[in-house]
Chains A and B, each alone.
Chain A
Amino acid sequence: MHKNLSHEEITPPEYSFYLGCVIPNRYPFVEQATRNVLNELGVRLKDMQGASCCPAPGVFRSFDIPTWLAIGARNIAIAEENNADLVTMCNGCYGTLIDVDHQLKTDEKKRTFVNNHLVKIDKKFKGSIKVKHLAEVLYMDLGMDKIRDSVTRLLGGLKCAVHYGCHLTKPSAIRPWGGETEDPRFFDELVEVIGCESTDYKDKHMCCGAGGGVRSAIKEVSLDFTRHKLEMMREAGAECIVVMCPFCMLQLDLGQIEVNSIFKDEISAPFAIPVFYYTQLLGLAMGMHPNDLGLVKHHNLKGVPPFVDQEPILSRIFKELGYDYKQLQKQSVKTES
């Protein structure tokens, strides 16, 4: 064996793959794209069997903090049993799980309290793993050099409105981005490295409006946030929106249909800006097949995401890459090799 090979180079990085609710149950193409892209990048994913809702930080934490801590700790305990750091694709799940993990690691009283409940289901929070967002795994664990090296084709300067989402960067004290919340750059860099343009727009770091239980209880207010963000994105000439959170994705995708209806007298024209999850575009730049990235519809189901039609913009991108959208639709979904 070669002497220079370090342990890390031989053992593929391994993570507990936390799905949450919105991705597996509403936006499964994000799960497909992320599983395949991480696999292509040499990451091993271990499923978290029997994981539940994180539980959502805006709603369930608002009703009862102790219950939120305990159910969150149960999820982390599953990752601990897997003996692999947890990776989540959702800002909300990230917000809950990193906060629960931090509180229970630093506060012995809380840890004892939670473990006294977990013992009833034969589980224990040990504090033996880290909670990470997919963005951190890509940008820091794998690193920009690795991402750059994996890119085989650039996406032709596609104008993307990058939406970070709040809980990816805030509260900054327990996030890995060095305290930057007003103008972080890591997501923009990830988008630029695949040959897209990160279009600057006003109020870029404003909330999409979905969080805090606002969408679930006072939808019109949450959609007024969204209306504003969409207007700023359109004004800046964005061709698509890129996210790394399924709840922001839902709000910005389904939200356009809702804004077009409830604010129809206040907006200059209906919105139709397609929304992509970052790994879908990354995979495309890595030379992966669109059918493996959840980019092509193979069903006739009604009332399912994506709600804003992605076909017009994808047809254009695919053409440059030598695919034909209609042809791809006729092919069956490729099975993983």
Chain B
Amino acid sequence: MEYIKRNRIDKISAKISEEIVKDDLELIRACYQCGTCTGSCPSGRRTALRTRAVIRKALLGLDQVLDDPDIWLCSTCYTCFERCPRQVPVTDIIIKLRNLATQKGRILAPHKSLTHLLIDTGHGVPINDKKWNDLRESYDLDPVPPTVHKYPSAVKEVQTLVKSLGFDKLVEYKPPVNTNSKKDEKPEKKEEKATRKGRKSKIKK
């Protein structure tokens, strides 16, 4: 039978599905693999994301589903969930899989920097240039909105929550070094750079 190649699955387990069921998403077990989700998926129309396969791999406990970048291609539009004949919460399951992937350190680099922005400023899209204040003012608004941007204590509150939940560690957040200590460190950093450069050139030669 060497003409027929089969993908053998050596080990199946409930470890992924149990994590999913724990989060009130037990309907994953109702999936009968009809593929309505895949057929409805706007991302799957243009990428390799196959939501049906994601659900199946999760049910089989295949770790590869967490390592596969496909789970990050879902735009969370919820069309799959709305159309699923079994009300399987496909989108929320993908979100949960992303949580598990993040715990394995599989968060994508641009996403990681977004989390650092949130922790630093309290906004996912902060005012990071004076032009945005000027733009607000040109539309007759207070240049600083009444959000975390106006209340430094509110940013502290967000940071307290983040620490309390261990989110800072999860996303490897390091607080920015304040300017005073930076000045002290400067010469040291320069030296470090120089040695690095030195090493590089040695390797090149």
Interface residues, chain A, with chain B CB atoms under 8 Å away:
19, 21-22, 24-26, 28-29, 31-32, 47-53, 55-67, 70-71, 74, 95, 107, 117-118, 120-121, 123, 166-167, 170-172, 181-182, 205-207, 209-214, 216-218, 221-222, 224-225, 292, 294, 297-299, 301-304, 333-336
- Beyond A25-B125, A64-B167, is A50–B132 a contact (Cβ under 8 Å)? no
Partner of B124, one of A49, A55, A74: A55
* Across-interface contacts of B23 in A (CB, < 8 A): 65
Task: Point out the residues of chain A lying under 8 angstroms from B194, CB to CB.
Answer: none
Given A64-B102, A211-B76 in contact, is the A53-B165 Cβ separation under 8 Å?
no
A50, B99: Cβ atoms closer than 8 Å:
no
CA distance A202 to B46 in the complex (A): 17
| A28: B residues at CB distance < 8 A | 132, 135-136, 139, 141, 145
Interface string of B13-52 (1 = CB under 8 A from A): 0000000000110000000000000000011001100000
Quick check: B95 and A62 within 8 Å, CB to CB? yes
What distance in Å separates the Cβ of B205 from its nearest Cβ neighbour in chain A?
38
Check if A21 sits within 8 Å of B126, measured CB to CB.
yes
Nearest chain A CB to B114 CB, angstrom units: 6
Closest residue of chain A to B168, judged by CB?
A: A67
Residue contact B76 to A121, C-beta cutoff 8 Å: no
The 3 closest A-B pairs by CB, nearest first: A50-B154, A24-B145, A170-B78
Query: Which residue of chain B has the shortest Cβ distance to A211 in the bound complex?
Result: B75
Known: A28-B141, A117-B161. 18 other contacts (CB 8 A): A21-B126, A24-B147, A25-B149, A28-B135, A47-B146, A52-B147, A57-B76, A64-B170, A107-B24, A121-B160, A167-B78, A170-B78, A181-B78, A212-B77, A214-B75, A217-B109, A221-B43, A301-B135
Tell me which of B4-12, B58-66, B115-123, B175-183 binds A.
B115-123
Task: Check if A212 sits within 8 Å of B79, measured CB to CB.
Answer: no
CB-based nearest B residue for A67? B167
Are B151 and A32 in contact, CB atoms less than 8 angstroms apart? no
The CA of A126 and the CA of B149, in the complex, are separated in Å by 25
Q: Are A49 and B146 in contact, with the CB atoms below 8 A?
A: yes
Q: Which of B42, B96, B118 contacts A206 (CB 8 A)?
A: B42
Given that A24-B147, A206-B42, A301-B138 are contacting pairs, would A217 and B164 also be in contact in the complex, using a CB cutoff of 8 Å?
no
Let me know if A298 and B138 touch, CB within 8 A: yes
Q: Return chain A residues, CB-CB under 8 Å to B81.
A: 170-171
Whether A25 lies near B157 (C-beta < 8 A) is: no
Closest A residue by C-beta to B145: A24
Given contacts A55-B118, A170-B81, A218-B72, contact A21 B125 (CB under 8 A): yes
CB-contacts of B49-103 with A (<8 A): 72-79, 81-82, 89, 91, 95-96, 98-99, 102
B157 touches A121 (CB 8 A): yes
Residue pair A172, B125 in contact (C-beta under 8 Å): no
From A212, A218, A297, give the contact of B76 (CB < 8 A).
Answer: A212
A-B contact pairs, 27 of them (CB 8 A): A21-B124, A21-B126, A32-B141, A52-B154, A57-B76, A58-B75, A62-B95, A62-B98, A63-B111, A65-B96, A71-B162, A107-B24, A117-B164, A120-B161, A170-B81, A170-B82, A171-B82, A207-B79, A209-B42, A214-B43, A214-B73, A214-B75, A216-B111, A217-B72, A218-B72, A292-B140, A299-B138
Q: Are the C-beta atoms of A49 and B151 separated by less than 8 Å?
A: yes
- Look across to chain A and name the residue whose beta carbon is closest to the beta carbon of B74: A212
